[in-house]
Structure 1
Amino acid sequence: MHSKPLANPGPLGLMGFGMTTILLNLHNAGFFPLTAVIVSMGIFYGGLIQILAGMMEFKKGNTFGTTAFTSYGAFWLSLVGILMLPRMGLADASSESFLGAYLGVWGIFTLFMFFGTLKGNRGIQVVFGSLTILFALLCYGNMTGNTAVLHFAGFEGIFCGASAIYLAMAEVLNEQYGRTVLPVGEPKKQAAHVDAVVA
């Protein structure tokens, strides 16, 4: 009896990450205030759904996907906590410099994850590369109080989120149509292997 193959949870996790990242960075770029829209997305789509995607990757035996999605899902939940717990009177507000340190730690984690993408397609490299830069900018901006850097980080974050959405939709559409609808820059060896299989 053959078991039915598991669905690819990657697009779900990438969409949760990408959409939430864009919305937060629209705020960072100065377009919108921080409202329940961002907080709700951080809890549900960016947080819980990414963790769910990570658990689905665990089921498939994908260490990288499990680590990435569960970690960034927890990042969004913890960020919501940092923002909301002081307003609820449950914790003291963090200083800007300590928030910068928090973002810096996530930047270091993301840099190592970026190294893990170097054998993958260009799309995933762009996502993790731009996310590493985003964390570096946010870390520096918060630790120094440089609002211009934080403003610029917002635009960089919009690009990062958009790259994740593109990759997610590429995985969905390419699978649905059985061909490359949206290119993601597959590694040459993998592309050659695919051509050989098709031939």
Structure 2
Amino acid sequence: MSEQQPPLGNPAVIGLAGFGLTTLVLQFHNVGWMPSIGPVVWLGLFFGGLAQLIAGLQEQKTGNNFGYCAFTSYGAFWISLCFMLLGNKFDIFKAGTEDVGWFLIAWTLFTVILWVGSLRIHGAMAFTFTTLLIGFILLDLAHFGYPGLTVVAGYELMICALAAWYMLAGIILNGLYGRVILPMYKPWVS
């Protein structure tokens, strides 16, 4: 008689939680509600960074290349962004506004690849990545001569963060209730 293995937890819940929360708190700073960048640095290192990185590595074990790439990469994004902020604070490998802009442009181009993939997953994923891509483009422009767009990006990326939490809530609630409480909607591209 073989023992049945208990089901494994879905690592996406932690990846989406870390991405959503850290993105949301950074936008509180970007729109001027939270004057200190400190909470962003600590969240970015540990929840948006390390926890999301670990979630991505666990996605690899499930065979989900999209989740593996997205969570591991954006976890590394948060860690590198926070070290860049710390470097600027302590005058180590300082990055100016345009330097950060080029960093963001590279991440924008990377995000285009995942955005194209997200269109075939489901509507909630496509919406989240569409808002993420728009947010990156707005931040790119903000770093190259249009600083007022940082606030616009802040509000837009709050929508992205909440969309990630919608998927998180859907995975948890749909699983707990054994039925669809929060639909993920049809893929935008079939």
What is the TM-score of this pair, normalised by structure 1?
0.89
Q: Following superposition of structure 1 onto structure 2, how do residues 19-168 of structure 1 map, counting pairs within 5 Å?
A: 19-91=21-93, 93-144=94-145, 146-168=146-168
Moved over 6 A (4+): none
Q: Does the CA-based 8 Å contact 2:27-2:155 persist in structure 1?
A: yes
Structure 1 counterpart of 2:70, one-letter code: A
What count of residue pairs does the alignment treat as equivalent?
187
Partner SS state of residue 85, structure 1: helix
CA displacement 1:90-133 (0-9 Å, x = unmatched): 32x21211111110110111111011112111101111111011
Q: How far off is 1:4 after superposition?
A: 3.2
Structure 2 counterpart of 1:171, one-letter code: I
Partner SS state of residue 86, structure 1: helix
- Aligned equivalents of 2:124, 2:36: Cα separation in 1: 29
- Aligned equivalents of 1:44, 1:12: Cα separation in 2: 12
Q: For residue 181 of structure 2, what is the aligned residue in structure 1?
A: 181
- Aligned equivalents of 2:30, 2:83: Cα separation in 1: 18
The answer to which of 96-105 and 178-187 deviates more is 178-187
Q: How far off is 1:36 after superposition?
A: 1.9
Q: Does the CA-based 8 Å contact 1:13-1:54 persist in structure 2?
A: yes
Q: How far off is 1:28 after superposition?
A: 0.8
Q: Identity over aligned residues, as a percent?
A: 37
Q: Does the CA-based 8 Å contact 2:119-2:187 persist in structure 1?
A: no
| Residue ranges of structure 2 left out of the alignment (5+ in a row) | none
Q: Does the CA-based 8 Å contact 1:98-1:143 persist in structure 2?
A: no
Q: Does the CA-based 8 Å contact 1:99-1:143 persist in structure 2?
A: no
Structure 1 counterpart of 2:152, one-letter code: F
Q: Does the CA-based 8 Å contact 2:59-2:65 persist in structure 1?
A: yes
| Residue ranges of structure 1 left out of the alignment (5+ in a row) | 191-199
Q: For residue 12 of structure 2, what is the aligned residue in structure 1?
A: 10
Structure 2 counterpart of 1:12, one-letter code: I
What is the TM-score of this pair, normalised by structure 2?
0.93
